[in-house]
């Protein structure tokens, strides 16, 4: 009896899933509980396990295709079992809810084995790449394209650390310019689950939340000095090296403890004032943006925050975040400093009522207390507030506290 592998429900709010990548080929044996494909839901990319064992007879959904829950993805046969006639496919189950089918659907039944060409997502390349066995293995499993990675090993050989540092998405380093295609046609790009969530949530935020914007410019010189000292010590003792963002996160948390009114949500006929500070941090990834959450951030010191942030960012880039790690934030920090942005305004991440927009540290002329023009290190921070919850004065109070902590970084060590 052939078994039909269907699109599983991998999260509570999932209505459809995108088949990102097949981990098995037609003809491969499949064990029970073995991962057979990567599936992107509205929240995350996860591995899908098989509930049966057998031989993967036929793949019905192409990589990159979005299908509704319950749609048949592949057929599994027992060893030696005759394949079913094409007409026997449980086509009924594959019918999508009529309205909610955004992807230009190719009918699964028409997909033949030959057309299942793993195109965009495949890291394997015919070009010979000089890479260590471990680097190749990690690249294969995390979806890093080795042809786009430059190696730091002998003779430019790609080693483990190069692959780990390489963007699986756009985060971290600037995306490499791809040679332009010969024919400059318009393309219709189906939305990924993540892109759809970003579109829907930010439209809702910008149209239903009365945003207002405040900006301050802080003196970043003390922070840079403190960071340099702490990192020199970390280097000597093998401790954790801190980024500028780690200091910003810590200051954001301390300031929220000082002005708890910003750590709140608008809830119809009431305001929910949160006890804990769960810090959402915007991380750029391959096809968009995720905001993993550092829970109970007020309990973490500078090093703790730094480690938590690194771990979440790594997971985000390797698509290993669990839905839990992306929910329940109460304040968001978005930092585009590394991208050379001096200042910007961010859109609130609902149901939160405040987001910080952190710019780059810039060397520029400043007027000191003796009215002289001297070079200074400055950082611009924007606050976007939900005026239903946070008034301008409260926002200003919060930014004043933030300034205090950033300009006296020794307080962040408490």
Partner 1 sequence: MSQYDLIVIGGGPAGYVGAIRAAQLGKKVACIENDRAGGTCLNWGCIPTKALLKNAELYATLKEKAGDFGLSFDNLSYDWSKVIGRSRKVADKLAGGIEFLFKKNKVDYLRGTGALAGTGKVTVTAADGTVATHEAKHVLLATGCRARDLPFLKFDGKRVLGAREAMLMPEQPRELLIIGAGAIGVEFAYFYNAYGTRVTIVEMMDHLLPVEDTEISQALEKSFKKQGIQFHLATKTTAAQVTEAGVELTVEPVKGGAPVTLKGDACLVAVGVGAILPGGTEKLELTERGFVKTNDRYQTNLPGVSAAGDLIGPPWLAHVASFEAIHAVESMFDPQHKSKKVEIFPGCTYCHPEVASIGLTERACKEKGIAYKVGKFPFQASGRALAAAEPEGFVKLIYGEQYGELLGAHIIGAEATELIAEMGLAITLEATHEELENTIHAHPTLSEAIHEATSDAFGHAIHI
Hey, which residues are catalytic here? Answer: 387
Question: Which residue shows structure tokens 């790449």?
Answer: 129
- Helix, strand, coil shares, percent, the chain, to 5: 35, 25, 45
Q: Which is nearer to partner 1, 101 or 132 (CB)?
A: 132
The beta-strand segments (E) located in 146-210 are none
CB of 160 to partner 1, least distance (A): 6
CB of 162 to partner 1, least distance (A): 11
Instruction: Report d(CA 350, CA 272) in Å as an integer.
Output: 13
Residues 73-132 that bind partner 1 (CB under 8 A): 132
CB of 292 to partner 1, least distance (A): 20
Binding mask 148-177 for partner 1 (x = CB under 8 A): ----x------xx-----------------
CB of 275 to partner 1, least distance (A): 30
Query: What b/e sequence results for 352-374 when a residue is b if at least 16 CB atoms lie within 10 Å of its CB, and e otherwise?
Result: bbbbbbbbbbbeeeeeeeeeeee
Residues 205-234 that bind partner 1 (CB under 8 A): none
Binding mask 122-141 for partner 1 (x = CB under 8 A): ----------xxxx-xx--x
CB of 311 to partner 1, least distance (A): 12
Question: Which residue shows structure tokens 């019918």?
Answer: 95
Q: Which is nearer to partner 1, 130 or 387 (CB)?
A: 130
Q: Which is nearer to partner 1, 196 or 320 (CB)?
A: 320
Instruction: Report d(CA 243, CA 231) in Å as an integer.
Output: 9
CA neighbor of 47 nearest in space, from 293, 322, 265, 257:
322
Tell me which DSSP letter residue 413 carries. Answer: G
Number of residues near partner 1 (by CB under 8 A): 10
Instruction: Report d(CA 194, CA 14) in Å as an integer.
Output: 12
Ramachandran angles phi, psi of 77, nearest 5°: -115, 155
For position 238 contacting partner 1 by CB under 8 A, the verdict is: no
CB of 182 to partner 1, least distance (A): 38
Q: Which is nearer to partner 1, 168 or 263 (CB)?
A: 168
Write the DSSP string, 358-378.
EEEEEEEEEE-TTS-EEEEEE
Q: Which residues pair with 290 in a beta bridge?
A: 283
Q: Which is nearer to partner 1, 159 or 377 (CB)?
A: 159
Q: Which is nearer to partner 1, 183 or 236 (CB)?
A: 236
Q: Which residues pair with 285 in a beta bridge?
A: 288
Instruction: Report d(CA 271, CA 268) in Å as an integer.
Output: 8
Torsional sign, CA 300, 301, 302, 304 = negative
Binding site for partner 1 (CB under 8 A): 132-135, 137-138, 141, 152, 159-160
């Amino acid at each position: 009896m052939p078994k039909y592998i269907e699109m599983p429900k991998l999260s509570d709010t999932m209505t459809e899933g995108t088949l990102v990548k097949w981990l098995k080929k037609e003809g491969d044996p499949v064990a029970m509980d073995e991962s057979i494909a990567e599936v992107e839901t509205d929240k995350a990319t996860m591995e899908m396990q098989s509930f049966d064992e057998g031989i993967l007879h036929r793949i019905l959904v192409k990589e990159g295709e979005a299908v509704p829950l319950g749609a048949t993805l592949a057929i599994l046969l027992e060893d030696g079992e005759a394949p079913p006639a094409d007409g026997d496919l449980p086509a009924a189950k594959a019918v999508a809810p009529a309205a909610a089918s955004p992807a230009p659907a190719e009918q699964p039944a028409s997909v033949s084995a030959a057309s299942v060409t793993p195109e965009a997502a495949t890291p394997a390349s015919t070009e010979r790449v000089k890479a260590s066995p471990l680097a190749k293995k990690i690249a294969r499993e995390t979806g890093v394209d080795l042809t786009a990675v430059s190696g730091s090993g002998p003779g430019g050989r790609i080693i483990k650390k190069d692959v780990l540092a390489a963007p699986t998405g756009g985060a971290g380093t600037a995306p490499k310019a791809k040679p332009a295609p010969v024919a400059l046609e318009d393309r219709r790009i189906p939305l990924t689950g993540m892109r759809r969530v970003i579109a829907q949530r930010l439209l809702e935020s910008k149209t239903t939340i009365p945003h207002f914007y405040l900006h301050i410019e802080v003196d970043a010189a003390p922070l840079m000095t403190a960071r340099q000292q702490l990192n020199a010590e970390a280097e000597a003792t093998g401790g954790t090296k801190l980024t500028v963002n780690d200091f910003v996160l810590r200051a954001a948390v301390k300031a929220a403890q000082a002005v708890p009114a910003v750590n709140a949500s608008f809830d119809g006929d009431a305001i929910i004032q949160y006890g804990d500070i769960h810090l959402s941090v915007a991380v750029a990834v391959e096809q968009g943006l995720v905001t993993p959450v550092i829970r109970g951030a007020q309990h973490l010191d500078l090093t703790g925050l730094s480690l938590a942030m690194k771990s979440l960012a790594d997971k985000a880039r390797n698509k290993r975040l669990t839905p839990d790690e992306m929910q329940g934030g109460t304040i968001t920090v978005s930092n585009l400093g590394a991208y050379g942005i001096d200042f910007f305004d961010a859109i609130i991440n609902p149901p939160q009522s405040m987001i910080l927009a952190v710019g780059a540290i810039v060397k520029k002329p400043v007027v000191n207390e003796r009215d002289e023009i001297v070079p200074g290190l400055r950082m611009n921070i924007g606050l976007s507030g939900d005026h239903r919850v946070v008034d301008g004065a409260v926002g200003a109070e919060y930014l004043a506290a933030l300034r205090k902590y950033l300009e006296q970084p020794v307080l962040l060590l408490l």
